[in-house]
Structure 1
Amino acid sequence: MTETREAAPGSLPIDLAIETHGLVKRFGHRSAVDGIDLAVPRGAVYGFLGPNGSGKTTTIRVLLGLASANGGEIRVLGREMPQQLASVLPEVGALVEGPGFYPFLSGAANLLRLDSADRHASSATRHRRVNEALDRVGLGHAAGKKVRAYSLGMKQRLGLANAMLRPRELLVLDEPTNGLDPQGTREVRSLVRSLAAGGTTVFVSSHLLAEVEQMCTHVGVMSAGRLVAQGPLDELRSAGQAHVLVRTPDGERAARVLARLGLVPGEAPGHGVIQGNGLDGIEPEEIVAALVADGVRVRGFSVENATLEERFVSLTGEGFDVVG
């Protein structure tokens, strides 16, 4: 029976593909993962976000049984881990810490060998499934080329193909766009969306904000081994402070009005634009009325929610790569 997580009173229980409680992983006296509670809904594209060294890959290794936890509870696809590892892993496809292949074999030959090592895979459909997986990641034309001649991006694609050799309930991808050019990145993004649309839960670890925002439905933010926030992407963004943008030639006067209303004038995104941060409980109409009443010539006005980058910085006090 699939386990579910208790939801708020009056709402439906949440069916989780990955669930942890107080998960801890230490290396000596250092806690790489420090008591995190993951909740990954089935069917979601969950972005596991954080700078390099924040504990993302270590968490993934523990979830997949590649490393043992020092404390806490883990459930993957409704089953306890690592106790039920043997029944869970056949339902999970993974790309962790970069793919490793035999360089003297072709891409297709590597996948055939890996698939033959999977006792749950059908030998009757092996060649068809390998060809389909290579086509899905754009490597059909390079199927017969030796892997030593593959670029980093091509090897990354081959790793994705290996993770998708059989239908999976859960796909775990650690930095899947590493080494890919912009076109390859867009293709991986589209592939992840299509997998989720087909019912697969996709758990994507990344340090690239732009990729997470375009690909994911849910986000968990890691910082120094701790999970500092998680939830639907839109809710996480809206939890940050919204701000107003006023386009006016009367910048100093507009800034004084915003300050009087309790908004903190901030860095403007362009010439002739004043930003007011900390919008909380003030109706936009009130702000415009106050500006006009004070003689400010308002040529444009908008209210914008905090970006994921701004939300991350407010949660952790640090920044990281925002573009690939």
Structure 2
Amino acid sequence: MTERKVFKDLTRNGSKRPWRRNKLDNLTYAEYLLMLHYRKAAKVKECGNVLRFKKAKDGSLKLYQTWFCKSRLCPLCAWRRSMKNSNQLIQILNESHKEYPKGRFLFLTLSTKNTYSDNLNKELRHYGTAFNRMINYKKISKNLLGYVRSTEITVNHDDGSYNQHMHILLFVSSRYFKDSDNYISQAEWTKYWRKAMKLDYQPMVNVEAVHPSKSKNDLLAGVKETAKYQVKSADYITDDEQRDLQVTDDLEQALSHTRAISYGKLFKTIRKKLQLEDEDDLVNTDDPNEDSVLTDSEIVVAKWNYELQNYFIS
């Protein structure tokens, strides 16, 4: 009997890509959907079952064919989506800086009080409307060149509430920092967010400038924060199955017909110019680590083994 060879997919720096971990979480998520009677459960379970890679001359692998379920909460799809968003955002920021070399970046986080499942979808929609209203306020819009925003949800397991908050990477003109007519303090951002959301309390707002002296590391941190998972699988895959089922059902309902990430102004224009708009393509993530010289014929196929709970080379 031929010995099975465990599949490994390493990045150029030698770290292991988390295919197995995410597939195991995917199977738990699929099981929850089945228990909740979601019709897509069977399709989610098949996500990423067979992975076909082309081998590069340096030995690295580039995914070229598989089937992803594209469900918003699927850990496999969320990982690929986050990676794709991050790599594409870096391309967009590089192009933006070429057009406006003196432009500066800000990282803005907007939040409100926690809400509960019956109001979460409405609150997410309200966030989008309020943000669009806020960026059109005169003092904000006059210096805003481009932006990308994403919404993240975290779960408070103590009381069953949800915290929705928005991460925004802003690209502003250099005059933003020059005088009080252009600069917006954290207190002012808080005032604008409260006004846009029509709140009767002070919301939670944080704004940080990306300092030119250490802009690369700060910017990469901002990119990762903006492009990361909308919901971490650790929030709905825990050691409490009954609670997990409730959270999964709540999030499935709340995330329906909402956007995880969106671009505006210059960023939107550049994204279109670079033809980066195919959000459903989770095979091609534009990962620099996958940008290798491919061999003509060597194909690596990895198949998931349900019994042994791992990917093996077939």
Sort the TM-score into its range (normalised by shorter chain): under 0.3
Q: Give the helix-richer structure, 1 or 2.
A: 2
Q: Which has the higher contact order (CA 8 A, sep 6+)?
A: 2
The two structures have a TM-score, normalised by structure 1, of 0.26
